Structure 1
Amino acid sequence: MDQDFLIQEHKQIESQKAARQFLNQKQRKPLWREYLETAVIAVVAALLLRLFVVSAYRVNSGSMADSLLEGDYIFVNKLAYEYGGKTPQLGDIIVFKYPNNPDKDFIKRVVALPGQTVQIADKVMYVDGQVAPVPEGTKFTDQKVLPGDLSFRDNFGPFTIPSGEYFVLGDNRDDSRDSRFWGTVPSANILGKAVFVYWSWQPDKDVPGWGFPYVIDAIQWIGYGLYNFPSHTRWDRIGTAL
């Protein structure tokens, strides 16, 4: 009797194990499907980050040298001024839509805030009558001082900044088109605050062209990139905080 009971209990246990294995096999997804779902989640997460949190930009001019160099690739925090009443502060490097052509994105440094009065006299900048600090990385490349009736580059103002707008300059003060020439930046045009350089590539005039039918150009690009990657990457700039 005891032996029959043990045999019956053993059969019951084996039956339960078989049922569990069957359910596990039935519920287990194919490996390709798991990879596909993971890839889809990663792509969606990246798109959401790109749309709402951070954007990547390439610096296409030397107007912000030496803080930013042509060929720098930067991350921009799109939420920096979105919540908690946060607004751009003096010294922030911002990306914004160019007021005269919103299809173009510019990058400059905030040097004066709404309500402040700006004046530049012989290259020296004054804010509310006080000499403004010169941000690290700012440079002057032309010793000549241009009179105000010839150019606003070295002599400008005084000018009081309207409410909700910002006065921006390039750190390369003698080679930058900025608020001295085309006016202030409305807060509605600001896209975000530059955070850091995530990659930097030394510009090269010998870079291959790109045109139809693209196949040959694509091969040339791949070869060019593989060959020049170590020497043209500015390794010392990667991770530079802004």
Structure 2
Amino acid sequence: MIEQKDSFNIFAKVLFAVLGLIVGFIAIRLFFIPIKIGNTLMEPALSGNDYVWFYKTKKVDSGSIVLYKSPLSGELVSRVIAKSGETVEIINKQLYINGIKATPGWAIKKSDTRIFPSRFVNRDNMNAITVPDGHVFVLNDNWDIPDDSRLFGVIAIENIVGKYAFKISLKK
């Protein structure tokens, strides 16, 4: 009789653990989006071997890393630099927000590896633009790759999929 009770307790514990894992997995999928970073757009913050989790939200602040629907190439990851009503300008790779020289509180990669001189490539200089209502201006942390608002303009808030939550780094 004792053996039956022990085996039932073990079965109940295993069943409870399995159900807990299933419920946990469903909850994670409801609130988070996992992706693998496969490029160097956000180096040094995120590298090509990072698995990143984004919290599903459209509420973002300047400096937030976001996952968004790009008008050109599916989903991309960039950092919000300016929100509605703010003016953004880039002069010789220096960022200005509302006419004031901006010093980001995060690392930026600016290793210049281009073949063409800057007068042929429009990534280091950009005329001032004011971000319209319901939009954000995004930049990559690796400023040498202009697959961001410098290339395709501002991003509608409705196209933001999620905000950075955490990462798991796998070194090669």
TM-score normalized by structure 2?
0.84
Distance 2:71 2:23 in 1: 32
Structure 1 spans left out of the alignment, 5+ residues:
1-20, 82-86, 203-242
Give yes or no for the alignment of 1:49 onto 2:21: no
Give the one of 37, 49, 54 matched to 1:59: 37
CA, structure 1 residues 132+31, in 2 after alignment: closer, same or farther (shift >3 Å)?
A: same
Distance 2:83 2:100 in 1: 14
CA, structure 1 residues 175+135, in 2 after alignment: closer, same or farther (shift >3 Å)?
A: farther
Amino acid at match of 1:114: S
Give the one of 45, 56, 76 matched to 1:78: 56
Give the one of 22, 28, 32 matched to 2:11: 32
Counterpart secondary structure, 1:112: strand
Q: Report the CA distance between 1:75 and its aligned residue.
A: 2.2
Q: Report the CA distance between 1:96 and its aligned residue.
A: 1.3
The aligned counterpart of 2:95 is: 125
Q: Report the CA distance between 1:107 and its aligned residue.
A: 0.7
Distance 2:37 2:105 in 1: 19
Counterpart secondary structure, 2:53: strand
Q: Report the CA distance between 1:164 and its aligned residue.
A: 0.7
Distance 1:33 1:132 in 2: 58
More relative contact order, 1 or 2 (CA 8 Å, 6+ apart): 2
The aligned counterpart of 2:128 is: 158
More strand by share: 2
Distance 1:100 1:176 in 2: 12
Distance 2:76 2:113 in 1: 26
The aligned counterpart of 1:207 is: none
After superposition, residues 1-242 of structure 1 pair within 5 angstroms as 29=8, 31-32=10-11, 34-51=13-30, 53-79=31-57, 81=58, 87-101=59-73, 104-142=74-112, 146-147=118-119, 150-202=120-172
Amino acid at match of 2:53: F
Distance 1:34 1:89 in 2: 43
Q: Report the CA distance between 1:30 and its aligned residue.
A: 6.6
Which is greater in Rg?
Answer: 1
Amino acid at match of 1:129: G
Q: Is the 8 A contact 1:146 1:154 kept in 2?
A: yes
